[in-house]
Homo-oligomer: A and B are copies of this chain.
Amino acid sequence: MAGGKDRAAVEKILEAAAADRRTSLTAPEGRQICEAYGIPTPRECLATSAEEAVRQAREIGLPVVLKIVSPDIPHKTDAGGVLVGLDTEEKVAEGYARIIENARAYRADAHVVGVQVQRMLTGGQEVIIGAVTDPTFGKVVAFGLGGVLVEVLKDITFRLAPTSAEEALSMIDGIAAAEVLRGVRGAEPADREALAGIVHALGELVTDFPRLAEVDLNPVLATATGATAVDVRILLDPDAAKEPVRFSREEILMAMNRIMKPTSIAVIGASAETGKIGNSVLKNLVGGGYAGEIFPINPKAAEILDRKAYASIADVPSNVDVAVFAIPAKFVPAALEEAGRKGVAGAILIPSGFGETGNVALQDEVVAIAREHGVRVLGPNIYGYYYTPENLSATFCTPYDVKGGVALSSQSGGIGMAILGFSRSAKMGVSAIVGVGNKADIDEDDLLTFFEHDENTELIAMHLEDLKDGRSFAETAKRVSARKPVVVLKAGRTSQGARAASSHTGALAGNDKVYDDILRQSGVIRAPGLNDMLEYARGIPLLPAPTGENVVIITGAGGSGVLLSDACVDNGLKLMEIPPDLDTAFRKYIPPFGAAGNPVDITGGEPPSTYRDTIALGLADERIHALILGYWHTIVTPPMVFAKLVSEVVGEYREKGIEKPVVASLSGDVEVEEASEYLYRNGVVAYPYTTEKPVAVLGAKYRWARSAGLVG
């Protein structure tokens, strides 16, 4: 595409369309726009008489396609406005007359510009390439095979526009039926680079001209030596893709640092009365061990929980970083006004009664006040937030004190409580838990940016139902996930249903596939469910990043080996093909009827030394990158003996500087529960009674490591 952009040509066409207040372009206009951006289209002319059509057909070469050109007939086929395969001059002449007649019959007052005479291409593979303006992500491009595959099976893939050349090529390979383009049944492979070139050019086109709301290149015909957009359909919307307000990274960090690591906090609506939110928040701040200053704000009390209370935040004698609002919604604007004048960095709006109950005006008012004073707002409609490095529990829930590297956020309060309960139960080390609620202001972007730079955070896990600014999220997540794993639970996967859409691509974009593709493009690990998100968050930071794809299963139970292999396939993990010398080395330790290969089946009745020796070999051999252990409870090697020997041998190699991810599935009587916990505490992600979970966590770690470029 380099050097092939004729912006002026596009601008001219768009101006003409705007002058006519049109919401779509004609096919010839579409074709000209494509050509202006180097997207090949078939040879064609516009005829305004049958004679002209015949002459043009002769020049272009038979067979040809005739298509009505009229701004009033967007769906040409429905109007009998398309004739294909006209291979004699007589047929072209007849066809011209018929099309004009059909158009008149379809809509008598239609303005008919003429008839497009187009070289008919035959052979090759039909694909669809499109672009739409997604309400969450803005301009996205789409790629799929033509016909039934995209129509019925929805086999289509999306990326943020514009794509890099590499991303465009990843789309061509990213559909389920990608194999078709590599040539099946002896067909010639399609020119994938040419297709990627069109995707890339289309992405640039819609980015350069946001008014191009939806573009369908359908079909694009791909042969072994090129690709041509046979039909072009473009819808216009001058309001498409408005840019949302964005803060700079510096602005975000400045505010978020004061919010997450405040030197002082005011509780507006602090109360001495047990059961009140303003009482719980104050208690949790004090009881949680927060070392900064705490100022209860309450006009009716002089002292609350042994702390001097102030009638207004304005009366507080020192600076205040954060104001937690524990007052009814209707009192928030006035109090926020005062907090803003006081210069707080963050307003934590716990109360509900804003956008979520339909009171959008009140929420907008609050945001306007905050903007005026440079205050960032968390919430409203939240449980608050935790930041454990500061012993900060600014919430009406119970404090949390198991410190560690996992930062979590949730859009829903209920999910926040599940995060809290799971974390406490699993003794998960947490840096932060943040409720974002209605996301009137602070959203996942702000949190990602803070956690990216937060030395106390190793992994970020987020529950979200929507994104205010999907494009910004995708870009931020891409940057952050290159350094720290980002796990996302996207709720509402299945509820979007079909959006009303006029273009083909638009209709196909109305499902979860856009989220799925773009989250993957951003390096995000998408969790299929709540429990998966929590288990990924807990397990991923414990595992060292793998440096290669060779996974080996070592199992005492052949049955577990089979199920663990299934789980590897489900999670995109590659079972190493064991080379002969390594096979021999494993066989030295296992009984003659055991099976080397992969899984390495050491058989059930083996003593601890067999587990130990084979695991040590798996850690020592440089060609192996990750281990999955299948334990079978026996009298010879009881669960805790297994747990201790595994922890020891993994620890020994870690001390030698050899770090590989090791996960374990424990089959046995209830003692395997304690053994699994012991292993987990020692850096081996282990579960009882399941072969799926440990492999899923390893698979999630691999997905991140691959996207972060760590897997060789």
The yes or no answer to A632 lying at the interface (CB within 8 A) is: yes
Produce 1/0 per residue, A648-676, CB < 8 A to B.
00000000000000000001111111000
The answer to whether B632 touches A563, judged by C-beta atoms less than 8 angstroms apart, is no
**A148 vs B150: C-alpha distance in the bound complex, in angstroms?**
13
- 577-605 of chain A: CB within 8 A of chain B: 593, 604-605
Nearest Cβ in chain B — how far from A22, in angstroms? 27
CA distance in complex: A179, B528 (Å): 27
Q: Find out whether the CB atom of B412 lies under 8 angstroms from the CB atom of A558.
A: yes
Set of chain B residues within 8 Å of A635, measured between Cβ atoms? 275
Is A153's CB under 8 angstroms from B153's CB?
yes
Interface residue? A449 (CB, 8 A): no
Task: Please state if A668 and B491 are interface contacts (CB–CB under 8 Å).
Answer: no
Contact of A414 (CB < 8 Å), options: B565, B567, B604: B604
Q: Known contacts A153-B153, A531-B689, A563-B491; is A421 also within 8 Å of B593 by CB?
A: no
Cβ-defined partner of A529 (8 Å) among B420, B563, B604 = B563
* A389-425 contacts to B (CB < 8 Å): 397-398, 410-415, 417-418, 420-422, 424-425
Chain B CB within 8 A of A123 CB: no
- Whole-angstrom distance between the Cβ of A117 and the nearest chain B Cβ: 24
A457 within 8 A of partner (CB): no
Contact A418 B566 (CB under 8 A): no
C-alpha spacing A154/B293, complex, angstroms: 65
A176 contact from B153, B556, B566, B672, Cβ within 8 A: B153
| CA distance in complex: A418, B639 (Å) | 12
The size bracket of the interface on A is: 35 or more
A465: Cβ under 8 A from any B Cβ = yes
Residues 195-206 of chain A: 1 if any B CB is under 8 Å from the residue's CB, otherwise 0?
A: 000000000000
Question: B184, B356, B557, B693: which contacts A151 (Cβ < 8 A)?
Answer: B184
Pairs A–B under 8 Å by Cβ, sample size 11: A153-B155, A358-B593, A412-B558, A414-B555, A415-B557, A415-B563, A420-B669, A425-B688, A491-B563, A492-B562, A528-B692
17 more contacts with CB within 8 A, not counting A415-B557, A492-B562, are: A149-B149, A151-B185, A412-B557, A414-B558, A415-B559, A417-B633, A417-B668, A418-B688, A421-B689, A489-B563, A491-B559, A492-B566, A493-B566, A494-B566, A495-B562, A495-B569, A531-B690
